[in-house]
Amino acid sequence: MKTINVPANTNVVIYAYYNTRTNNRGEVDQQPSLETQLKSCRKFAQLHKLNVVGEYFDETDTFMHTSRPEYRKLLAERETTQFDGLVVYSIGTLYKEGRRQVRGVAYVLGLESLKKRGIELLPVKTGYRKT
């Protein structure tokens, strides 16, 4: 397991995203519910003794950033809300890889601006361990 790069008592925000879009077989892609993602992120923060100072979540049928108002709000508030970590269920919460990679460019750019501000991305699903 990987150790997180932020100390205890660090201020973090949580972001969760649920895509309601169906695939070409008419099925919703397999993914954890918003509540499951939020619960996992909260547990992760508690385990690592992180201070959750905000929660953002979107539920939509597209990957496009224009339909994720809470994600856009998180990016807009990064200058005024004091947080040093972004807890997500998985990297896929922010953008999809492969054939959807182009759609994820806006999210990657948002992540770059967070990185420049020194905000650490903390995905729960990577198997971090408590230090």
pLDDT tens, position by position, 51-108: 999 999 998 776 555 567 888 888 888 878 889 999 999 877 666 544 444 445 455 5
pTM: 0.79
CA distance 122 to 126: 9
Under DSSP, is residue 56 helix (H, G, I), strand (E, B) or coil?
strand
pLDDT tens-digit series, residues 7-20? 999 999 999 988 77
Structural domain boundaries of the chain?
2-129
> To the nearest 10°, the Cα dihedral for 62, 68, 71, 76?
140
pLDDT of residue 101: 47
Domain 2-129, CATH homologous superfamily name and number: Resolvase, N-terminal catalytic domain (3.40.50.1390)
